[in-house]
Every structure is written in C-alpha cells, then in structure tokens.
C-alpha cells in the first residue's frame, strides 16, 4: 500500500535553494505504530505526521519522527507542516506536538511558528 508523502524544504534562501528537506504525511494514512518505519524508509532528518483539524477547529496535531526515534518538538517540521496545512486549504492557528502548543502565523507567502523553550 502506498502513502502520499509531501517532500518540502524549509529555511531556503530567496531563490529557493538550500534548506532542510522533510517529509509531511497525513497521519490518517499511517497508524501510529507504522510511522517510525515510514520515517526510517524516507531517511530525512525529520518526517512529521499531521492529524488534520476537526470541523471548526484551528488546531492540528503533529508527531515528528527521525529515522530512529520520535521527537517531542523540532523547528523545521513544524514550519513545514504549517505551510503544508495552508497550501491544502486548512490553515491553523496552532499545532499541537508532544512538547506542547506551537503558535502559527501566516504573512503573505511566509509561514512562521512560535514555540516556548
């Protein structure tokens, strides 16, 4: 069974060069127990699995995996996921990851996240 993976690069320069690649996956496509294997197969430094917000909600939930473990938080996958959500027509105000709530801001073509350390 194939799954759809969006590959993004965040923190690129003005010409879209450089940046950190990551995978973004709709979490409904992969049970939690299978996510580590998907992240390992993809081989990116991080892959984020997003549970889309429910009707009327402005919060999505994310789980971030490296090829070897799940992380409570990482910056570039949260930025990439926020951008991905907006592109698919479901912009959010917050993204819930295991470490806590991440605020999301959209400004024209820019996407930013704000998290507490």
Annotation marks residue 46 as catalytic: yes
* Neighbouring C-alpha atoms within 13 Å toward the C-beta of 25: 26
CA–CA dist 18, 45 (Å, integer): 15
- Would you say residue 46 has pLDDT above 90? yes
The token pair that represents 40 in the structure block? 């390992």
Mean pLDDT of the 42-65 span: 97
Q: What is the pLDDT of residue 109?
A: 84
Sorted by where each starts, the structural domains of the chain and their CATH numbers stand as 6-114 (3.10.310.10)
Using DSSP bridges, classify how beta strands 70-71 and 110-114 pair: parallel, antiparallel or unpaired. Answer: unpaired
pTM: 0.94
Beta bridge partners of 112: 105
Element (H or E) spanning 67, and its range?
A: none
Cα 39 → chain centroid: 12
Active-site residue identified among 22, 39, 44, 46: 46
Q: Binning pLDDT at 50, 70 and 90, where does residue 1 land?
A: low
């Amino acid at each position: 069974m194939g799954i759809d993976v969006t590959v993004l690069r965040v923190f690129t320069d003005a010409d879209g060069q450089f940046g950190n690649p990551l995978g973004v996956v709709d979490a409904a496509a992969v049970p939690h127990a299978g996510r580590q294997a998907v992240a390992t197969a993809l081989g990116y430094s991080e892959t984020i699995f997003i549970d889309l917000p429910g009707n009327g909600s402005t919060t999505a939930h994310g789980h971030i995996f490296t090829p070897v473990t799940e992380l409570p938080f990482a910056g570039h996958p949260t930025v990439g996921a926020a951008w991905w959500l907006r592109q698919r027509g479901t912009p959010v105000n917050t993204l819930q990851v295991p470490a806590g709530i991440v605020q999301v801001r959209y400004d024209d073509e820019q996407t930013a996240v704000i998290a507490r350390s």
